Structure 1
Amino acid sequence: MWSSGTDFRNLDSEDESVLSSEEEQDIQCEILEKQRDEANQRLSQMEEASTQLLKEINLLEIQFQIERSCRENAEAVAVKVTKENKALKRKSLALLPLIPELPENLASLSLDLEDESASDFNTSVELAEEPLLKSQAQIRELQSSVDQLLGEKMQLCEQLEVLKKEKEELKEQLAVEVQEKEAILRKLTKQSRTVNKMKRVSQLVTEEFTEMSQKLEMEQGLRHHAEEFAQQVLVKQKESQRQSLALVQNEEVDAQLQQALEQVAQLSKALEEIRLHHQHQRSQSRAVMEEFNALTELQMVKAQLETNIKERMKIENHLRDSQNTVTELQEEVKQLQDMLKTVTMNPLIESGLSNEETVIPEPLSSTLFPPLPPPPPPPPPPPPPVLCASPIDPLDVLRNRKKVGNNTTDLKKPALSVDVKARAVDEMMERIKKGIVLKPTQKPQQAGLDEDSWKDQRSEKRKSAVLELQGILDTIKKPGPKRMASRKRISRNVGEAELLMVLQRRRRAIGDDKDSL
């Protein structure tokens, strides 16, 4: 789970670095766009200035061409006039020597010459004026055509300007659309990144959820095993009580007690390992809960974890109860050892201990063993027992006790409830705390008929325990039967096999947990 937290942190750091780089790229793009807009404005201004210059240059060229054509026409007319003047000068020079030879007819000749010269001059003038008129007409036609061309050119220029404006508007629209497209692409990229992040987070969450579900199933299985183990412990406690009462007759009491102590130690070790395993799992679950507190979106998973924690606490309570029962069993075994010591030290004790008052077994002297605590107040009187004329046989008592225990276990097997277990544990605790009370064999006073059935069962159990102790004390000096020892050994072997099976299951479960972690 710590690895998943580090993955979350690495993803957050990578996302922050990517976002910072994206912001820097966005700022650089905005700066470049501003520079591009400024350059486009400058280019548009330069284009407008260049168009105006081209217009002025075209006008100047047209004016220059008109002036050049006019100058060429004027030069041609001047050349013609100079040629005509030269011809007239030659003629006049040719006529000058003939003037004194003709004095009589001078006036007539002069008049004729004047008329001829005037006519020649008029003809020459007319001849000279004709190309001028033609040139002027051509000039006028050219000017009118030039004006038409200029008008058409102005219209074309206006159309060009309109087209250029439309082109600029289209460019601006295209730039705006490109910017919008880039913005949309950026948004899409950001959304895709967020979607990828959500996918990663969802994958991690699903993986953690599967892990938690597996742990929950494992914990449920462990709880079920723990309940079965607690039930087996209760059954073994009862068997150990029965065996402890029967082991007094056997010669191998010390060896069997040692084996029972070893079994109790093994059980305590197994319970301690289970408790440590549960503590380890609880620490892991706490770490997981601390990591999941940061994720507000996984409230349902938190609720499931809380339910798992509650169930785990219940399992721990069951384990504590089982530990308490184990410690109580150890104390009971110690008490039985003390009782065996007292029995071996006092071989002259007989069956006359069953009096009207309740008696608790005590050691011979206070110097050898410390005094026991004072007995609690006596319980309510049981119903009157059936008096037997014949002496009580301990073998018959044990057989009857086994039959009663088998019947009770057969009745309890189909309906295993928490109340029955709690009652059994409470009875064991009270019996261990108060000690084994020896009831009188005489007929007590008649008890009330309104007592509960549970009190009757409890009194019967105590009575059977008293009868067993009395029979054991009566038959201490007698040799014990061999069949009982063989039966006890078989039951002890069965208990060890069951313990080995439970330990193997628990080791497999722990190995599976380690592999999954």
Structure 2
Amino acid sequence: MASTGEQKEEKMISDLSNQVLLQYEILQKEYEKSKKECKQMQEERDEALRKLKEFEQVSHRVIEEVNNIQENLEIEKTCRESVEALASKLNRQNRSLKRKSMLFMSRLGADVIAEISLDDEGDEDPQEEESGVCSSSHCQIVITELRDKLEVILAEKKQIAIDLETTREQLCQTRQELLKEKHDNTVLIAETFQQKKLLGKYNRVSQYALDEFEALQDDLNLERDLRSEAEKFAHEMLVEQKKLKRQSQMLIQSVPPTEALQKALAEINTLTHTLETQRLEHQQQVKALEEQIHGSDLKKQLSALQRQTELLDEERKEWQHKHTKAETEAKDLRFTVEELKKKLQQVSNPPPAAPGPPPPPPPPPPPPPPPASSSNPLSSLLSILRKKKDVSAEIALVEKDSSEKTPEKDTRQQAVDEMMQRIKKGVQLRRVSQRTNRARPEPKEGTNSAIQELHGILNSVKRPGPSSSPGTCPPSPSQKSELEKALERRRGALKAAKNNTNSNTALDLPQIKQTQSEPGQNTRDQVQDQVHNTHNMR
């Protein structure tokens, strides 16, 4: 049996070690796969960073070109302003010269004035004054060249602005890709870290399994050695017994029968004594070895439990670290979401001229509906009666008269007090029209039984007050039938108790039930009377 148990343990340990090795190989493959993916992601990240640097260089060049174009545009604007100032100055000088020439013409003769045609010049002067542009060919050429250059520069500026927008979009895309790759890299790093932890765990578990396997092997070798020693000892004992038998036969043959018998008996006694002592020693050794093995098993169990506790502590620490990490990530994500919301609000809604009043706070949520009252007077009465039954079941017949009166009063008083408290609290009583076996006459009301009154009490308790919603359902017919059955059983028990005349004999279980049904009936009648009185008073 021990060998089969050891073989089973060896098989189980070998299976566990094989499973651990398979899981270790699977995890190693997953680690290599994740390593390759991480390398690939790193290469893609490097490529994206290179593209980002190229885009940044291109954007810097574009910005420099735009700055140069703006400087040229400013220079051309200043040149144009200076040209316009020179043209206005020339116009003024021409006008002054014309005035002076007119003064000189007034001094000249009429013949000379007739020859000079002043009409064309007079017509040209107002046109030049109205236009305010220099009529010289050089100025016109410079202005046309400047206009052409300005148009070319504006077209280049538009193209550069378009290129700048495209580069900005590409930069945003590359940044998003870079962030995505960084996130993927962090996820991969976390996965690799977790896989490393799992590998460490599996290594520890495999080490523990190997330690246990080695300990079991040592125990098995020890037991085998002990078994071989015991077999050797038994073989030696058999050889000694055979030798003694031969010697006894030789002695019997050589010595007379009487002496030989005496010697043989003495030797047999000594041998039996030695055998008994050796057997006892062997049993003690076996017990000691069993105790050692048991102690080693307990030590193994303790070590296994300690290892399990260490593993559980490590897992708890890991989960705590994950929890803190998740909390920090959630806080970061909330902060980023708030920032993005603010940016979206700033982009979508420009800042107004004057801030308006803050919006009113949202209205508070409506209060929760009041819980429905789960109190049931019938259940309380039944529980009181059951308690009374349990107490009175252990009372002897001699104390029957004295013990029955006080519990009846207690149960009656409890039921009456409970019903009065419910009526004082505002329980609305409602009459139920239902036919029963027993009837009680009432003035101007007809006949109603105690069952109907109890149903009315239950309905009034279950029905909410005037402040709550009136959507309550009446009791089901199954509940009514159960109440009727319970009260009919009590009536039958009461009748049986009245018919019983054996009050001096020992009280058995059915008599206990009958005696306990009497206070139940009395309490029911008392409750019925109290309910009718309160109803008539109202």
Q: Normalising by structure 1, what TM-score? A: 0.35
Q: Normalising by structure 2, what TM-score? A: 0.34
Higher relative contact order (CA 8 A, sep 6+): 1
